[in-house]
Each structure stands twice: as C-alpha cells, then as structure tokens.
Amino acid sequence: MGRGGIGGAVAAADMENSDSTRCFVRDVKRIVIKVGTAVVTGQNGRLAMGRLGALCEQVKELNFQGYEVILVTSGAVGVGRQRLKYRKLINSSFADLQNPQLDLDGKACAAVGQSGLMAIYDTLFSQLDVTSSQLLVTDRDFRDPSFGHQLRETVVSLLDLKVIPVFNENDAISTRKAPYEDSSGIFWDNDSLATLLAKELDADLLIMLSDVEGLFSGPPSDPQSKIIHTYINDKHGKLINFGEKSRVGRGGMQAKVAAAVSAASKGVPAVIASGFVVDSIIKVMRGEKIGTLFHNEANIWDCSKEVTTREMAVAAKDCSRHLQNLSSEERKKILLDIADALEANEDLIVSENEADLAVAQDSGYEKSLVSRMTLKAGRITSLAGSIRAIADMEDPISHTVKKTELAKDLVYEKMYCPLGVLLIIFESRPDALVQIAALAIRSGNGLLLKGGKEAMRSNTILHKVITSVIPDAVGKKLIGLVKSKDEIADLLKLDDVIDLVIPRGSNRLVSQIKAATKIPVLGHADGICHVYIDKSADMEMAKRIVLDAKVDYPAACNAMETLLVHKDLNKTEGLDDLLMELANEGVVIYGGPVAHDTLKVPKVDSFHHEYSSMACTLEFVDDVQSAIDHINRYGSAHTDCIITTDKKSADTFLQQVDSAAVFHNASTRFCDGTRFGLGAEVGISTGRIHARGPVGVDGLLTTRCILRGSGQIVNGDKGVVYTHKDLPLH
C-alpha cells in the first residue's frame, strides 16, 4: 500500500534522520490523525490558529501525495466554553458580575463549540483547495452492529473523493453522566475514539498530536528526563508515573498512552508527537525518529538505541579509567598496534573509502568535499606514521607541573590528568577519526565519535580496525562510534558524563553545537585569517607567503581570507604583481572601501563575508596599528600574520593582535597540530578558556591537586607554619 511522495521518499531521504524502527511508514496509506485540545487551543482558551493552519497544511500535503487522511479532533468543548463565557459575560447584570458563576454545562459547551470548530476547519481547508466533512459519533452508535459497516462505506466514499473526514465525539448528546470522568463504554474520549476508528477503518498508522514531544521517562520539564522513542509495555509500563491531566482536555498523556497501546495491540502502529512542531506529521511520515512509537512488535526489536547514548558515554568513561591505570609503555603499545593494524588493513580501508567516494560523486557532492574524504594508500601510511610519533611522545598522564611544600611534611602537587570523555563531531574527513583516536588514547580519555554520513563506510571500518587491537583490560567501548545524527541531540544533554565537545566542520555546525549543549565546547566558528603587508615588507617574500596562505589549501580554516596592505604600497609594482598572481590562481578579489575606490575591484559587503574559499578581501590601512585594530574588530581570533622587516612593527603586531596564533613572516597555513610538532590535532580552538590554537595531547588534559601530609589538621591554622616553598619536580 506504499505511496510515492513523502513515505516513498524515505529511502532517498537523509538516512541519518530516519530510524530503522520507522521503516514501516513506507507502506502506510491510510492515516488517522488525532489532535488534542491543548494543540487546538492556546493558553487563553481561544483557538490556536497558527497551529491549526500548520496542521491543515500538512494534511493537505499528505492528501495531495495520495495518502488517505482521517482527522479526529478535540477542542469543541473548549471552543464552546470560550464562546459561552463571553455570551454570559455580556448578558450579565451588575449583581451577576459581583458574584460570577462561570461553571458551564459541558454538553452545552460541546453543542456550541462543534459548529464553530468545524467552521474553522472548513475555512482553512477551503483555502488550501481541500474539502472536509464532519462526522459526529457517540459511544451508543457503535453498539449497533450495522453501524460499523455503514461507517466504513461512508468514510471510504469520502476518501475516494479526496475528502478529509473530520471526526469528533458528540459530547452534546453523550449518554455518560460525567463524560469528563466516566471511562466506561466502547470509547470514552477522543483518544480512545481515534483508536477505535483506526481499527474499524483499517488504518495503517495512528498519529496522536499532543502539547509535548512524546512520552518521557519523567516530567518533560525535568532536564534529566529522556524521551522514550519506542514504547515497550513490559519495560516502560510500570516505570512511568503520569502527572496531571491536560490543562484543557479530558485525559492527558496517560489517556494517550492507553489509546496508543490499545491501537498497537490491535495491529495499528501509533506515534505520539508534538502538535506544536509545524512539520511533525511530515517528519513522522518520513520515518524520522520523533515522538514515541507504539508497535506490536516493539518487544522483539533491538531497542537498545534508546539508551545507547548514555550507555555508550558511561562505558567510554569506565574504559578510560582502565586505560589510565595502564603503564605508559602499555598505552604506547596500543598506539603502535593501531598503526600496524591500519597498514595491515590498508586494502580493506581503501576499498570502503572508494565505496563512499562513489556514492558522494553520484550524489553530486562538491569536489573539495570529495577530496577531503579521500584516503589513498599513501595517506594510510602517513596516518600510521603520525600515530607512531604520538606513541613516542612523553607520557602526559600524571606528569607533575608544580610541587610546593606548604608546611613541614605537607607537600602539594599539581598534576596533569585526562579530561574524561570527549565527544568529537566532524565532517567529511575520515582521517580525522584516526588522529583523534590516537590523541585520546595517549591522553587517557574516553572518546565518542560522530563523523559525516558521506564517509560512513570509511569511518566504520577505521573504527573497527582501531578498536580491534584495544586490549580487553581496557575495553573496546573506550571509543564509541555514533552513527545516527539524531543521537547527537541526546549526547549533548549528557553534561554529567561527557566532559568536552569538539566540533570540527562548518561554521554552522560549530555554532549549532555551542547553542545546543551545557557541555564545554572547544573549537572555532569562523576561520577569518588576515595577512598584513607592512610598508617595509620584502615584496618577494610577501608574494610567496600570501600565495601559500591563500592557494595551498583554500578550504582550510587557516587559509587567508583578508589581505591588509599598507597604504604606501597602493599601485606599486610589487603589489600589482602579487594581485596578478592571485588572480592567475583563480582567486576572486573583493575590495574594502579604499581598495574598491582605488583599484575598482568588486566591493565587499562585509568584512565578515562568507564567499567561496577562492575569494579574498583586500583593504588598505594607514599603519600597523590600523591593521591591528581591523583584525581585532573583524577577525575571528584564529590565525593572523604580519609581513615586515621592521622589528618594532612586528613586535607590536605580535603583542596586540588578540588571536590564538599570531605569525611574523610565515604563512598562516603553519597553524596546524602536526606542523607544530603535536603529532596531530583534534581541532583548533579560538576560545580563551582551556586550550587555545591547535589542540594536541596537552589540550585534552586538565589538572588535579595532590596533597601528601603526615596527619596535619587546619584547626583555625593554629600551630601551622606555612613555608610555601617550591620543590624540584623530579
């Protein structure tokens, strides 16, 4: 029964956003959508027109894609109550206002609200060129054996005509004495009605929209609560305590869960999702892991993914402690074994990488991205060599950086120690996985890795090769590979387990990660690097440095973005030659105000530009201080360079430019962990807390205090003679 459109597009959609347990949506044709009162109305009791509009837009999209959509809506009583309150208020005497009696009969509210609610649906759907119909039912109707047959005939006829049936319980003539409390009968609210209709009308899926994202393990407002993406009755049924009922509806989450469990037991999968998200229905139909899924086969699925993120992080932390307990030589041997394993499996790694490259090329990825993904045979050898270099570095763990005698026989030591668990999120480059893993092992840290989907096969084989040689005494879960993009959001909530996040990739990625977590983030959101040519510069040297800084690897974060030039060099032969060389290399030059006016190059819109990697901004400045001011204002505190033969100007520049790396007469491309002798790097940090610049092993460490005494107590510092004497470290 699968359709094209949204459901059929799941296979072609971003698989990182879809979930294997939701693949059944590809075969869905008939959908029942239940809309809760809290979705239909706002806090003031009035209709939430924005949410209703978004709902109707999604239903229209599904309808046009060939799906059969049945809507079950709550909200009539709420709409009626709002209207009757207003009517009663304007008809009240002064005495009535002094003693307001606003209790209203629920049946009267339903009778007034049903027509108003349906009129809104009809208006909204008409604007979208969709026809809707109203069907009011009661519990008593379903007691008639012939009613089900007639109902199916009517609904099928409407669906064949592309009409949206809109169901609502007819509370105005309900036979229950207390419809808000009486749960007897075939159905007792619109949640249970939706379940009944899903079964009676042979629906393939029930979607229940609420005012929360789904079912949580605790109160949704509790930061420790975790959304349950797949509900398993045996596992979750007795663990969850439900809170208060809906602020406006009849049952709240408990009623929805009961209805969803009932639907799933009858063979109709159900998803509880947020009606406050404008495209939640479309996301469900794309197979994305949003909301809570109820399925009659959930108990036999491997649903360990629901706890994978926390378990993975905790396991990495536990394994890191085992790693720290090893001797330096034992940790070194692990790295040497990894280097050997990479070379031994070179053919397999290259084969998997070629499969990724073929998919990337067929998908039309940019050549620069494909280039970053490529792992040639020589690259594997180079990676193995860098790992051996890291293995030969001095062991950083438990290295004492300060030793002080506080008092007689009371010695304080400050020592390096691992941070704990690192979460590294990187794009495109599978070689980054190898470098980061080596640095994490050398520094004694646990590691969680999330690479880009475009290099999934490469990342998977590299992770397998690396973890295969980690000894059981440490545990192969020391390094975890996160494969689903959806799991990143869960990982970013684990500030009690994960100690540092390092995003490596685009500005957008870094900014999104920083905005989404309480965990410290180490990285940079921009790589706006400057080269300033002073008036005393050797122009031949300047030409070599500028060309290298821009052309050697234009897409790198340490490539030059802005060229600042002393005004005295304007229209000189040396500068003209340099600009011609840049143009010959394909660099597009934009001008700041002065450069635009004098050289007639295209004007730059902003010095915080986001042009292609082959673009460069040129501007003239009055002197070295003007260059410094420009960099500190428009730069990103990454890497900046001065080219000059004047030592005073160089020293002023090096001292006053507030960047992570500041160079004199050297290309910005030198800002790299390997080139700095760090063996490798996990990234480049432009922050001012913890590590700054290229981050190697040292940047993955923190310190702790060790105090060795002989029974001393403070006791108000009576009798303690502080010496505070520095002691030799060895």
For range 499-512, the mean pLDDT: 84
Residue 575: pLDDT band by 50, 70, 90 thresholds?
very high
pLDDT at site 557: 86
For range 388-407, the mean pLDDT: 91
With pLDDT > 70 as the criterion, what percentage of the chain qualifies? 87
Report CA-CA distances (Å) from 336 to 76, 322, 674.
Answer: 70, 18, 18
Q: Picking from 64-68, 69-73, 112-116, 504-508, which range would have the lowest pLDDT averaged per residue?
A: 504-508
Residue 606: pLDDT band by 50, 70, 90 thresholds?
low
For residue range 458-494, list pLDDT tens digits in order.
Answer: 999 999 999 999 999 999 999 999 987 778 888 999 9
| Residue (of 283, 284, 225) closest to 260 by Cα position | 284
SS (H, E, C) 438-465: HHHHHHCCEEEEECCHHHHHHHHHHHHH
For residue range 48-63, list pLDDT tens digits in order.
Answer: 888 999 999 999 999 9
Residue 172: pLDDT band by 50, 70, 90 thresholds?
low
With pLDDT > 90 as the criterion, what percentage of the chain qualifies? 53
For range 683-704, the mean pLDDT: 87
Furthest CA-CA distance within the chain:
98
Concatenate the DSSP letters of all residues of 276-316 into one string. TSTTHHHHHHTTB--SEEE-TTGGGS--THHHHHHHHHHHH
The two tokens of residue 10 are 């799941």
In degrees, rounded to 5, the angle at the alpha carbon of residue 665 between the alpha carbons of residues 660 and 666 is 60
Q: What is d(CA 157, CA 29) in angstroms, rounded to the nearest whole number? A: 16
Residue in the block written with tokens 């897409």: 555
For residue range 89-126, list pLDDT tens digits in order.
Answer: 565 555 555 555 556 666 777 777 788 888 899 999 99
Instruction: Tell me which of 448 and 225 has the higher pLDDT.
Output: 448
pLDDT higher than threshold 60 for residue 7: no
Residue spans of beta strands (DSSP E) within 192-269 = 205-210, 230-231
Residue 42: pLDDT band by 50, 70, 90 thresholds?
confident
pLDDT at site 15: 37
The three-class DSSP label of residue 379 is helix
**pTM (predicted TM-score):** 0.61
SS (H, E, C) 508-577: HHHHHHHHCCCCCECCCCCCCEEEEECCCCCHHHHHHHHHHHHHCCCCCCCCEEEEEEEHHHCCCHHHHH
The two tokens of residue 584 are 């010959």
pLDDT higher than threshold 70 for residue 301: no
For range 1-6, the mean pLDDT: 43
Q: Strands of 588-591's sheet, edge to edge? A: 588-591, 615-621, 560-566, 529-533, 639-643, 661-664
pLDDT higher than threshold 70 for residue 6: no
For range 665-678, the mean pLDDT: 92
Q: What is d(CA 235, CA 307) in angstroms, rounded to the nearest whole number? A: 12
pLDDT higher than threshold 80 for residue 514: yes
> Which helix (H) or strand (E) covers residue 59, if one does?
helix 49-64
The three-class DSSP label of residue 110 is helix
> Which helix (H) or strand (E) covers residue 60, if one does?
helix 49-64
pLDDT at site 568: 96
Q: Picking from 179-188, 225-234, 350-359, 507-516, which range would have the lowest pLDDT averaged per residue?
A: 179-188
pLDDT at site 180: 42
Instruction: Tell me which of 452 and 626 has the higher pLDDT.
Output: 626
DSSP letter at 88 equals H
Q: Picking from 101-105, 249-253, 420-424, which range would have the lowest pLDDT averaged per residue?
A: 249-253
